[in-house]
Amino acid sequence: MNLYATISADIVASTSLSKDALVELTTQVKGFLNEIAPHYAVGFWGRLVKGDSIECVMEHPKDALRIAIMLKALIKSVVPSDGVTDPKFKQFGLRIAIGIGEMRLVDRKLDMMDGEAIYQSGRALMDMQDKTKDSFQIVMKDDVTGGALPVISVLLNQIINKATSRQCETLYHRLQCRMDAEVAEKMNITRPGVNQNLNNMGWDAIERSVNYFEQLKFEAK
């Protein structure tokens, strides 16, 4: 049986944001989910829940890590127009968990998703709320990587949480498979500026993690 991947996420310190700032963020998230859906047309569905939470499900688990990093980078790249940000929001942006497992129900028309994968990502997200430094987790009941997923989680958690908003913006565009010249044009900076932003935040480790994850064979035992 094929496995699914799910993403559960919430905006950190969302209650500290002004109404306008929260609307600004959620508008960005909606735009992102609508933008990437055609690129992952087979079985991808993402939605906003309760205003400051995000849930996604996809039939190809290999896509989950790239999408999760893009989501976190997107939120961290946004500087609210009113200039008011909580230090926790500035550092973490988004708590995010990936779950990999079976799904017994995915029905977009009924707005329902239910199954092992979404339970796993949901529980991992709740667990992170009690851990001040954790904001990125990948969970799989039978880890096909021999223990690599927790290591990747810790690595990405450290790298992205330390990144600036400008570095995260660069990362967001680069993960959309845009070349340096296109990223530079999008951000109105030079190509060396793109490379500097990526190198300073640890792009090589992120790229290797994503490439490794995308070549894994996720199959139910």
Q: What is the mean pLDDT of each run of 10 residues along the chain (221 residues)?
A: 91 88 90 83 84 93 95 91 78 94 93 95 91 87 81 95 96 90 94 96 96 88 66
What was the pLDDT predicted at 68? 97
Predicted local confidence at residue 90, as pLDDT: 87
In DSSP terms, 2 is beta-bridged to 219
Q: Which residues pair with 46 in a beta bridge?
A: 56
Give the list of residues 6+ apart from residue 69 with CB closer than 8 angstroms, or none. 156, 160, 171, 175, 206, 210
Whether the model clears a pTM of 0.85, i.e. scores above it, the answer is yes
**CA dist 53 → 5, 8, 32, 110, 177 (Å):** 17, 8, 14, 19, 26
User: What is residue 42's predicted lDDT score, i.e. its pLDDT?
Assistant: 66
d(C-alpha 76, C-alpha 92), whole Å: 7
Domains of the chain: 4-214 (3.30.70)
Give φ, ψ of 3 to 5 degrees: -100, 155
Q: Which two tokens stand for residue 4?
A: 């699914």
Range list of H helices, 13-115: 19-36, 64-77, 87-92
Which tokens sit at 97? 């968990």
**CA 11 and chain centroid, separation:** 11
Q: Per-residue DSSP letters for 116-155?
A: HHHHHHHHHHHHHTT-TT--EEEEESS-TTSSHHHHHHHH
Is residue 24 classed as helix, strand or coil in its secondary structure? helix
Query: Under DSSP, is residue 216 helix (H, G, I), strand (E, B) or coil?
Result: coil
How many other CB atoms are there within 10 angstroms of residue 182's CB atom? 15
Residue 21's pLDDT is 87
